[in-house]
Amino acid sequence: MKIIVLGGDGFCGWPTSLKLAGAGHQVTIVDNLSRRGIDLALSSGSLTEIASVHDRIAAARQHVGDVCHENTDIAKDHAALRDLIAGVMPDAVIQFAEQRAAPYSMIGDSERRYTVDNNITGTHNLCSALVDIKPDTHLVHLGTMGVYGYSREFGKIPEGYLDIEIKSTRQDTQILYPANPGSIYHMTKCLDQLLFQFYNKNWGLRVTDLHQGIVWGVETDETRLDPRLINRFDYDGVFGTVLNRFISQAVNDVPLTVYGTGGQSRAFIHIADSARCLQLAVENPPEPGERPRIFNQVSEVRSVRNLADMLADQWGAGIRYVTNPRKELPENELEVENAGLQSLGFKPTLLNNRLIEDVRFIADATRKNFNADNVLSSPRW
Ligand SMILES: NC(=O)c1ccc[n+]([C@@H]2O[C@H](COP(=O)([O-])OP(=O)(O)OC[C@H]3O[C@@H](n4cnc5c(N)ncnc54)[C@H](O)[C@@H]3O)[C@@H](O)[C@H]2O)c1
């Protein structure tokens, strides 16, 4: 298949691009490298030293398969995006190219506006270009479990649509699960869902929206093939996801900083599982005419406290409970449906010591890049 991967230089996009190229697909990465720019602006950056995009592509072509890169801003340059789509005529486009950190989106006015402008305009430019140029393309978008909010108010969280009975008519129907974002970033993912519903209803655009859990881990089989292929590893309070943050703290003898009581339950997925799920979604498109297909891309649910206790037991790490910078329920129960991707062949990898040891190994090897001041850098909201 010919696949365009928007945001393919990022934490999820890079290993996914390699996985798809390794499976024999022709991959065009489109990335404006804005994330590398944000690293410099925030003085945060990856613990691993990631190669330039030029070196990454050279190594990928040498060891993995057919990958190239185009430097285009899909939000600001819709004409270039349209030319690209017309040039490649892709079977599928994967949309990772959004500002992806809730804390970043809550820093202040310019970050709020950037997140909305970048995410909504980029995704809308893509939908609009596809229906004109190649309307049968399968659009695969990365959403987040955060669109649902984190409660059991409506029971187990379904895959996008909620079964309801309308009181006045006693009719059973399904509606899009009520959006309940916790940050500007999450709000953009809720708005993306409405774009997909409309483009699907009016033009029949084929969409898979993957509501992904919190991704942890660093490496996949493909990123291990050459040092130039190594993935990024964020550990700071703005872009670092919780388990990777904890592992980097444990390795550097810094107490794990748990927000609030740590009673927040969240859905998690390892980076290798994430890339595998993307492959399954792309290779098994929805039928023409099907409504936007929504899958929960998660492997398991854990509480933040449980993760911290696990690492503390295993490595004797200390734990420090700090005031939660986020506005969120201090404690919650969570149950999530994930049968859709499993029906396509996904076998979730549960948190295990070998995988955690892999991350620990990388964190240990990159200790010199660790800056303890970066870990508690989250803004308050
Ligand atoms: N990392 C996670 O834990 C996680 C969890 C759930 C969902 N997601 C979603 O997955 C997607 C990818 O996340 P990630 O962790 O890889 O983020 P990332 O920041 O590492 O990667 C995003 C990439 O998109 C590029 N990009 C951003 N705006 C662009 C634009 N306008 N034009 C071209 N390129 C642009 C960036 O340069 C970056 O390389 C995001 O949409 C995110 O919301 C991530």
Q: What mean pLDDT is reported for the chain? A: 96
Res. 210 pLDDT band, cuts 50 70 90: very high
- Give the Cα separation of 68 and 263 in Å (integer): 43
185 is catalytic: yes
CA of 340 to the centre of ligand 1 (A): 23
Pocket of ligand 1 (CB under 6 A): 7, 9-13, 31-35, 73-75, 96-98, 100, 118, 122, 142, 144, 212, 214-215, 241
Buried (b) or exposed (e) across 45-61, using 16+ Cβ within 10 A?
bbbbebbebeebbebbe
Residue 82 corresponds to which tokens in the numbers above? 């349209």
Closest residue to atom 21 of ligand 1, CA basis: 10
For residues 38 and 240, the answer to whether their CB atoms sit within 8 Å is no
Residue 49 corresponds to which tokens in the numbers above? 């030293």
Q: Which domains does the chain have, with CATH numbers?
A: 2-234+268-301+335-350 (3.40.50.720)
Q: Is the model's pLDDT at 355 over the cut of 90?
A: no
Residue 381 corresponds to which tokens in the numbers above? 């909201």
Give phi and psi for 202, each to the nearest 5.
-85, -40
The burial of 311, by beta-carbon neighbours within 10 Å (0-12 exposed, 13-18 middle, 19 or more buried), is given as buried
CA of 13 to the centre of ligand 1 (A): 7
Segment 142-154 mean pLDDT: 93
* Predicted confidence (pLDDT) per residue in 237-270, tens digit: 999 999 999 999 999 999 999 999 999 999 999 9
Question: From the alpha carbon of 14, which atom of ligand 1 is closest?
Answer: 16
167 is catalytic: no
The closest of 273, 267, 150, 141 to 214, measured between CA atoms, is 267
Element (H or E) spanning 158, and its range?
none
For residues 139 and 95, the answer to whether their CB atoms sit within 8 Å is yes
Catalytic residue among 189, 208, 223, 235: 189
Segment 216-227 mean pLDDT: 97
Residue 304 corresponds to which tokens in the numbers above? 């933040």
Instruction: Report helix, strand or coil for 141.
Output: strand
3-state DSSP percent of the chain in helix, strand and coil, to 5: 40, 20, 40
Buried (b) or exposed (e) across 232-267, using 16+ Cβ within 10 A?
bbbbbbbbbbbbbbbbbbbbbebbbbbbbebbbbbb
Closest residue to atom 2 of ligand 1, CA basis: 215
Buried (b) or exposed (e) across 187-204, using 16+ Cβ within 10 A?
bbbbbbbebbbebbeeee
Residues whose CB falls within 8 Å of the CB of residue 258, separated by 6 or more in sequence, listed in order: 304, 305, 308, 319, 320, 321, 322
The burial of 288, by beta-carbon neighbours within 10 Å (0-12 exposed, 13-18 middle, 19 or more buried), is given as exposed
- Give the Cα separation of 184 and 172 in Å (integer): 33
* Predicted confidence (pLDDT) per residue in 6-55, tens digit: 999 999 999 999 999 999 999 999 999 999 999 998 888 899 999 999 99
Does this model's pTM top 0.75? Answer: yes
For a pLDDT cut of 70, what percent of the chain falls above it? 100
For residues 217 and 271, the answer to whether their CB atoms sit within 8 Å is yes
DSSP character string of 33-64: -HHHHHHHHHT---SS-PPPHHHHHHHHHHHT
Closest residue to atom 18 of ligand 1, CA basis: 10
189 is catalytic: yes
